[in-house]
Amino acid sequence: MALIEARSLVKTYRMGDQVVQALNDVSLDIAEGEFVAIMGASGSGKSTLMNILGCLDRPSSGTLRLAGEEVEALDGDALASIRNRRIGFVFQQFNLLPRTSALDNVELPMVYAGIKPAERRKRALAALQRVGLGERAQHTPAELSGGQQQRVAIARALVNQPSLILADEPTGALDTQTSDDIMRLLAGLNAQGMTIVMVTHEADIALWASRRIVFRDGHIVEDRPQPPHRVAEAAAA
Amino acid sequence: MNLLTACLSALRALATNWLRSMLTMLGIIIGVAAVITMIAIGGGAQQRVEEQMKSLGTNVMLVLPGAQTTGGVRLGAQTGQTLTEEDALAIAAEVPEVQATAPSLRTGVQVVAANANWSTAALGTTADYLEVRDWPLASGRNFEPAEQAGSGKVVLLGQTVARELFGDADPIDQMIRVRKLPLQVIGVLSQKGQNSMGQDQDDVILVPLSTYRNRIQGMSAGRIKRVGAISVKVREGQSMAEAGEKIRELLRQRHRLQSGADDDFSIRNLTEMLQAQEESSRVMAMLLAAVAGVSLVVGGIGIMNIMLVSVTERTREIGLRMAVGARSRDILGQFLIEAVTMSLVGGAIGIVLGMLATWGIGSLAGWQVLLSAESILLAVGFSAMVGVFFGFYPARRAAALLPIQALRHE
């Protein structure tokens, strides 16, 4: 059974009197342990797909199963619970709470999962150590570099032990050197078995993935495995 | 998310914008302080009236002689001498609502003790006067029947007179002189305080009516039974108006007034006057509190305004919280708790300020104030309600955001 089973997903938006078809009959299976890069020009539908996969948005029609669970019948609270348990998000703009320590930022998903404070602290520290920021736990985002902020965001995505990490342009706001560090971290997580779906429009970032899907005008125009030629390097790191 | 975590994060959110939070809370602070101070002032005024009511005695009426007309010239109230001791006895005997009556005559006198003297009022009356006025003795005894009948040379002192003449010494069995008449002090009245006009009611001496008439006044042999006033105490639970009407009928009959002729006396219902005063002070207190309450509502609108701004500003934060698993009710709770925390902190500061203001007004302006626990509870409850009421709309707006729209908000 695939981790993600999407069948005939359609998403239409109404912009004034125009109807925009952001997704047009998209079917997709993603297995556990895959590292998928989704590419395409802006407006091609890749972000819409990410939002639907992340249970942040609902498809206009079609079905989506996440780890065997039918998603589109669920109400808002149940979707919140799925996001909380199953999915870790990494955003282009990091989306950390300002004036809040890295540790507290990482604890946030566990607060909504109802985990006790002592346990939260322990697990948040472990997650920060996993991304190499163990000794910066008390720093606020303003005191961290872009790359470090994205690491905090990755630690936050990991902390509830999700089945899936959705990364939306994770390196879009970072320089090349830092981008490589972040991709190495993600590839390392993938090597440890984490399923990752990443949206990017940079071809060299997409090279880190083991499968590449290209979108154009709401359709998948290309979907092929690729040799993850830098994974060996990442695993070594 | 449990309540403690939510309160802590609310406090942190308020602290990050502390100047804005303070200014927002100012409305609540002023409102709560105003409510507490106004209720304290209103309560003080009411308490004052109640004390006067108590000092007057309950259910007391005063019958006074009416105007005298001499050759077409009307001389005003109390110039006539139409009331007699017999009138007082008749009222007590024939009006069933009446518990006791006390006729009295009054004049200003100079009293002299061993080495002190004092100008005060001498009141000639009967032993029942103390019952009518609810005025117990602090020490000593009341007039004996023999003293009342036989012009006994005895006197009861008011607290002020006792203090002026004897200081801290015990006046009982001491002698004082009034217009060269030696009188033995047999009792001291308890403290009565000021009346509603601000007069010191303790500045008085009481002598038996016969003593007053025969030995102090020493005149008007022809009108020997005339009195200056009759104090009437109506029984508990009886209608003052009804008793007043019966007294009027009785006196008209006794004075042989033709139907159509004016009364030659007047009846004053002092309790009713004070009740009216109490009622008006209560209305005043409620008005003051209502005006203060308006400022609380205005403060609440300030909170709503700032919470709406805050929701807009923090839309991305809301989106992120939703993305990592916050349900709508978590977001609703977060913003509601922030609003309530703000109004409660404001309320707490307002209580301190209100208590200070109450104390300041009480001691600087010299007004009687009454700080009650109820008014503080009321203010706290009201400010929490303001927080919930005015925080709910912004919080619901935050909770109703769609995660994807909140997250993509610029």
Residue-level pLDDT at B70:
58
Residue-level pLDDT at A222:
92
Task: Evaluate whether residue A166 is within a structural domain.
Answer: yes
Provide the sign of the torsion angle of the four alpha carbons A218, A219, A225, A227, taken in this order: negative
On chain B, the residues whose CB falls within 8 A of the CB of A99 are: 12, 16
Contact criterion met (CB below 8 Å) for B324 and A89 = yes
Residues 6+ apart with CB under 8 A from B10: B334, B337, B338, B341
Structural domains of chain A, count: 1
B325 vs A84: CB contact, 8 Å cut-off? yes
3-state secondary structure of B189: strand
Nearest Cβ partner of B324 from A51, A57, A109? Answer: A109
Task: Evaluate whether residue A146 is within a structural domain.
Answer: no
What are the pLDDT digits (tens) for A91-135? 999 999 988 899 999 999 999 998 998 999 999 999 999 999 989
Percent of chain B topping pLDDT 70: 93
State which residues form the domain around A205. Answer: 4-97+151-236
Residue with the larger pLDDT of the pair B75 and A216: A216
On chain B, the residues whose CB falls within 8 A of the CB of A111 are: 1, 5
Q: Is B283 exposed, middle or buried (0-12, 13-18, 19+ CB in 10 A)?
A: exposed
A112 vs B321: CB contact, 8 Å cut-off? yes
- Tokens of residue B47, six digits: 């308490």
Most A CBs within 10 Å, among B313, B320, B396, to test the A interface = B320
Domain ranges (residues) in chain B: 3-52+276-407, 81-263
Contact criterion met (CB below 8 Å) for A88 and A164 = yes
On chain B, the residues whose CB falls within 8 A of the CB of A116 are: none
What are the pLDDT digits (tens) for A9-68? 999 988 888 888 899 999 999 999 999 999 998 888 898 999 999 999 889 999 999 988
Residue A236 has pLDDT above 60, yes or no: no
Chain A closest-CA separation from residue B310 CA (Å)? 14
A112 vs B325: CB contact, 8 Å cut-off? yes
Chain B closest-CA separation from residue A201 CA (Å)? 18
Report in angstroms the alpha-carbon separations of B52 from B45, B187, B335.
Answer: 11, 23, 51
B324 vs A77: CB contact, 8 Å cut-off? no
- Please state the rounded mean pLDDT for residues A217-222: 91
Residue-level pLDDT at A38:
94
Residue A5's DSSP bridge partners are A29, A65
Mean pLDDT of chain A: 90
Nearest Cβ partner of B324 from A77, A100, A156? Answer: A156
Residue B315 touches chain A, beta carbons under 8 Å: no
Residue-level pLDDT at A33:
92
Task: Evaluate whether residue A102 is within a structural domain.
Answer: no
Among chain A, residues having any CB pair with chain B shorter than 8 Å are 51, 54, 56-57, 76-77, 80-81, 83-85, 89, 91, 95, 97, 99-100, 108-109, 111-114, 117, 156, 160
Residues 6+ apart with CB under 8 A from B237: none
What are the pLDDT digits (tens) for B60-112? 888 888 765 555 666 655 556 778 888 888 888 888 888 889 999 888 888 88
What are the pLDDT digits (tens) for B26-45? 989 998 999 898 888 888 88
Percent of chain A topping pLDDT 70: 96
Q: Which DSSP letter does residue A96 get?
A: P
Q: Which DSSP letter does residue B314 get?
A: T
A117 vs B325: CB contact, 8 Å cut-off? no
Q: Which residues of chain B have pLDDT under 50?
A: 221
Residue-level pLDDT at A170:
93
Phi, psi for B142 (deg, rounded to 5) = -85, 180
Residue-level pLDDT at A164:
94
Q: What is the CATH number of the domain that holds A40?
A: 3.40.50.300
Chain B closest-CA separation from residue A207 CA (Å)? 27
Residue-level pLDDT at B9:
80
Mean pLDDT of chain B: 85
Task: Evaluate whether residue A117 is within a structural domain.
Answer: no
| Smallest CA–CA distance from B410 into chain A, residue | A93
